[in-house]
């Protein structure tokens, strides 16, 4: 079980972000804290999770919450379930709210891994993205974080920005390699409906990056990071010295996770009320409404849908194939005890054709993408889903 509490507030709206977040003049932190704590307890009890494998503070901008809030939530987790000393506790942080004393406070509260939203080391790019920090501030934040969380600091980077050239990307990446710790997430910018950046691109005010350029940027980055000793362990994630993110891996492995906070999503079996099926759960989006619900009934779960065995397998497939290990026979068997990977994908059909074309591998360890196939996963999945649905 992996709780992921959400802190839904941001100081500024980034031009590309469509997450459920709120920019408000003043946050009643004590009240929000009380609600996050209460919902954490309620949902952990509901899940009957005995031991927590990881905690991930996401957002919004959770580094805007004070260390005592983080501490209170972790205490709630430890109170409701076993929280082993070595369990990964990640906090997403913005370079603008990560001065050393603050980071030390987070560490004292129990955070042992930091994921910093650097996004770029170019001031013009940062401005385009609507970030409130400069490249210099990002560098400062990373250095401060590495000092306090050595080997456990991750950097988020964006590529494929409107107007970004291949050369600029390579330069940026070189700079990052000089700065980074042992984990990097590289995300191709996705233009999301409803964001300022997407509107500008779709209206023609900004250029649309060419598909081939994006492919080149991705391939170059993969090569550079692998050369620097990183393992490309998920579509957008790279780690060296074994610094993989336990929390995110558990997500890609379709383990249980418990979303806490406004708009948080979860996947778990509510054993506490006698449930035995995995459910897709969504918490109430809007913070005020969510708080009212938590105050009155202990949680703000707005929607819960029982996932059918087929739907669970579809998620296992769509998430598991994003990783370099793919879907192991063991993991598949956990969700599909009667129909093995071989029985579904080893027979004549789409998967076989994709194997022959060199995009996919099915062998003794499981089903996974080849290195070429990984970049094309979204073209492989519909075929695989078709084959799965026929079983």
Chosen residue from 28, 143, 174, 311 binding other proteins by CB under 8 A: 311
Is the Cβ of residue 28 or residue 372 nearer to other proteins in the bound state?
372
Is residue 235 at the binding interface for other proteins, with CB under 8 A as the rule? Answer: yes
Is residue 330 at the binding interface for other proteins, with CB under 8 A as the rule? Answer: no
E-only strand ranges, 160-204: 183-188
Is residue 285 at the binding interface for other proteins, with CB under 8 A as the rule? Answer: no
Distance, in Å, from the CA atom of 232 to the CA atom of 243, rounded to the nearest integer, reads 12
> In sequence order, which residues have a C-beta less than 8 Å from that of residue 363 and are 6 or more positions away?
none
Is residue 236 at the binding interface for other proteins, with CB under 8 A as the rule? Answer: yes
Is the Cβ of residue 133 or residue 322 nearer to other proteins in the bound state?
322
Is residue 226 at the binding interface for other proteins, with CB under 8 A as the rule? Answer: no
Instruction: With CA atoms as reference, report the closest residue to 157 among 130, 120, 123.
Output: 120
State CA 170 to chain mean position distance: 24
Q: Which listed range, 30-38, 45-53, 73-81, 318-326, lies at the site for other proteins (CB under 8 A)?
A: 318-326
Is residue 233 at the binding interface for other proteins, with CB under 8 A as the rule? Answer: no
Instruction: With CA atoms as reference, report the closest residue to 239 among 187, 185, 177, 320.
Output: 185
In the range 37-66, which residues lie near other proteins by CB under 8 A?
Answer: 56, 58
Chosen residue from 12, 45, 253, 265 binding other proteins by CB under 8 A: 265
> In sequence order, which residues have a C-beta less than 8 Å from that of residue 178 and are 6 or more positions away?
none
CB 176 within 8 Å of CB 120: no
Distance, in Å, from the CA atom of 76 to the CA atom of 64, rounded to the nearest integer, reads 20
CB 97 within 8 Å of CB 61: yes
Is residue 218 at the binding interface for other proteins, with CB under 8 A as the rule? Answer: yes
Distance, in Å, from the CA atom of 152 to the CA atom of 90, rounded to the nearest integer, reads 9
Is the Cβ of residue 211 or residue 364 nearer to other proteins in the bound state?
211
Is the Cβ of residue 296 or residue 348 nearer to other proteins in the bound state?
348
State CA 299 to chain mean position distance: 23
Binding site for other proteins (CB under 8 A): 4, 19, 56, 58, 187-190, 211-212, 214-215, 218-219, 235-236, 248, 251-252, 265, 280, 282, 305, 311, 314-315, 318-319, 322, 357, 359, 374-383, 385-386, 389
């Amino acid at each position: 079980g992996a709780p992921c509490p959400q802190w839904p507030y941001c100081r500024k709206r980034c031009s590309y972000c469509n997450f459920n977040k709120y920019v408000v003049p003043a946050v009643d932190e004590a009240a929000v804290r009380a609600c996050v704590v209460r919902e954490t307890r309620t949902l952990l009890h509901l899940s009957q999770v005995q031991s927590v494998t990881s905690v991930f503070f996401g957002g919004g901008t959770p580094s805007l919450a004070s260390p005592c809030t983080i501490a209170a939530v972790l205490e709630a987790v430890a109170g409701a379930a076993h929280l082993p000393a070595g369990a990964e506790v990640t906090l997403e942080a913005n370079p603008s709210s990560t001065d050393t004393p603050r980071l030390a406070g987070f560490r004292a509260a129990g955070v042992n891994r930091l994921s910093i939203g650097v996004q770029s080391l170019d001031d013009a790019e940062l401005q385009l993205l609507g970030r409130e920090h400069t490249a210099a501030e990002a560098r400062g934040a990373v250095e401060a974080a590495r000092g306090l969380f050595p080997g456990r600091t991750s950097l988020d980077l964006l590529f494929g920005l409107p107007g970004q050239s291949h050369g600029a990307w390579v330069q940026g990446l070189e700079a990052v390699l000089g700065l980074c710790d042992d984990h990097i997430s590289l995300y191709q910018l996705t233009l999301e409906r409803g964001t300022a950046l997407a509107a500008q691109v779709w209206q023609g005010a900004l250029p649309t990056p060419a598909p081939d350029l994006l492919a080149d940027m991705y391939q170059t980055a993969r090569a550079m990071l692998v050369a620097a000793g990183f393992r490309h362990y998920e579509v957008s994630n790279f780690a060296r010295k074994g610094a993989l993110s336990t929390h995110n891996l558990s997500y890609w492995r379709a383990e249980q996770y418990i979303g806490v906070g406004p708009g948080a999503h979860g996947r778990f079996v509510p054993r506490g009320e006698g449930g035995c099926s995995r459910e897709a759960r969504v918490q109430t989006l809007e913070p005020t409404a969510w708080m009212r619900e938590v105050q009155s009934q202990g949680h703000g779960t707005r929607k819960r849908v029982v996932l059918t065995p087929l739907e669970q397998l579809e998620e296992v497939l769509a998430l598991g194939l994003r990783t370099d290990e793919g879907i192991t026979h063991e993991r598949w068997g956990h969700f599909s005890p009667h129909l093995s990977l071989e029985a579904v994908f080893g027979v004549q059909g789409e998967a076989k054709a994709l194997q022959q074309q060199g995009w996919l591998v099915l062998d003794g360890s499981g089903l996974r993408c080849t290195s070429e196939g990984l970049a094309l996963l979204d073209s492989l999945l519909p075929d695989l889903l078709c084959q799965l649905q026929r079983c």
